Amino acid sequence: MTMSAKPGCACFIVPPEVLRSYARDDQLDESVRTTLRDTYAHTMAMRVTREGARQASLLLQGAMTILRAPVGATIERVFDCRHGASLPGQMVADPSHATDAAARTVYATTAKVAEFYRTILGRESVDAHGMDLVSSVHYRADFDNAFWNGQQMVYGDGDGQMFTSFYASPDVIGHELTHGVTQYESGLRYEGESGALNESISDVFGAVFHQWFRGWPASKPEGWLIGALILGPSAKRKGKSCLRDMLQPAAGHCLSPQPDSYKKFDPTADVHANSGIPNKAFALFAQSVGGHAWERAIKVWYQACTGRRLASNATFADFARLTIDAAASFGLGAKAQAAWKQVDVPFATV
């Protein structure tokens, strides 16, 4: 098995503040609140090592470029943690025919993410050189999150009330694997505006992958929901239908509502919160372009993300400039400018 030589950089789908907030909700069963507290504590413990890992990852990148073998077909592996915390767990011998639904689904959907990157964007795996895609299912007991740890994907089963199986939502798998792409390209710092861009890029590619997976046009509102298929009955009873809505980041049906304008940017907030601003810019851009988002719109964002001009400490204005430049090469520069202007990113009004 070939594993990445890069160290861990844990990026989670559920924001810590959501876990902490609902862990205090006395309308939830105590067992669910306990699981949310445990997941929050585990999530925060893993996040404290992120910055050191990110810097080490960037230092290794040049050496890894020299040492990489020629591009080859991506190999996919699935492991079962059996509700333990040791990674990667026990290998599933034939995940495509496994009796376990988690192993089968993760294997099939991860293969589709690889196909999406290869056929739509011309990229072979997250590192562009055929890196093995490793996934672990049944991580810990009722773990309320999914994450990319710098080398592989990890999925919890959810507590069954606030969250269900994290592997069940294609956009979640696309989102987390895209953190691997960002790791190998720009290494965006996981704080402030660059951290919000890191999360937004994963939402963007996760959403467009889901649209491609379903054959949905950019005009379909459901295609812009993140985590709609991982919400459990307790979340739905509260009127929640998704973690985030890229078209309506501040909407009440979001479990994690976000600012929808740069004028509302909160410098003290978690990176997941502020990602709603560039999320909305892309969704508006894709809808203005029309058709399917994977045909042209996502290629603009991909060019901006992979052109070696995106600095690790990039601001929203920096990224807006790159996407507008990329859009111009597709004849879509005015549409990109209009999208950024609608979310009040300063560059877009210049």
Q: What is the CATH number of the domain that holds 283?
A: 3.10.170.10
The alpha carbon of 4 is separated from its chain's Cα centroid by a whole number of angstroms, namely: 19
Q: Would you state the pLDDT for residue 73?
A: 73
Q: Would you state the pLDDT for residue 9?
A: 62
Contact call for residues 115 and 177 (beta carbons, < 8 A): no
The amino acid that residue 124 corresponds to is E
- Residue of 42, 138, 272, 292 marked catalytic: 272
Q: Does some domain include residue 5?
A: no
- Residue of 76, 176, 193, 199 marked catalytic: 176
Q: Does some domain include residue 3?
A: no
Taking only the tens of pLDDT, the chain with its 350 residues reads: 333 333 446 799 999 999 999 999 999 999 999 999 999 898 887 765 444 444 444 444 444 443 444 556 789 999 999 999 999 999 999 999 999 999 999 999 999 999 999 999 999 999 999 999 999 999 999 999 999 999 999 999 999 999 999 999 999 999 999 999 999 999 999 999 999 999 999 999 999 999 999 999 999 999 999 999 999 999 999 999 999 999 999 999 999 999 999 999 999 999 999 999 999 999 999 999 999 999 999 999 999 999 999 999 999 999 999 999 999 999 999 999 999 999 999 975 54
Whether 176 sits among the annotated catalytic residues: the reply is yes
Q: Does some domain include residue 1?
A: no
Q: Does some domain include residue 165?
A: yes
pTM of the model: 0.91
Whether 272 sits among the annotated catalytic residues: the reply is yes
Q: Does some domain include residue 6?
A: no
How many domains, in total, are found in the chain?
1
Q: Which domain holds residue 299?
A: 11-349
Q: Would you state the pLDDT for residue 50?
A: 46
Contact call for residues 199 and 271 (beta carbons, < 8 A): yes
Q: Does some domain include residue 61?
A: yes
Q: Does some domain include residue 209?
A: yes
Q: What Å distances lie between residue 220 and 224, 232, 279, 304, CA to CA? A: 8, 23, 16, 25
Q: Does some domain include residue 4?
A: no
Q: Would you state the pLDDT for residue 2?
A: 36
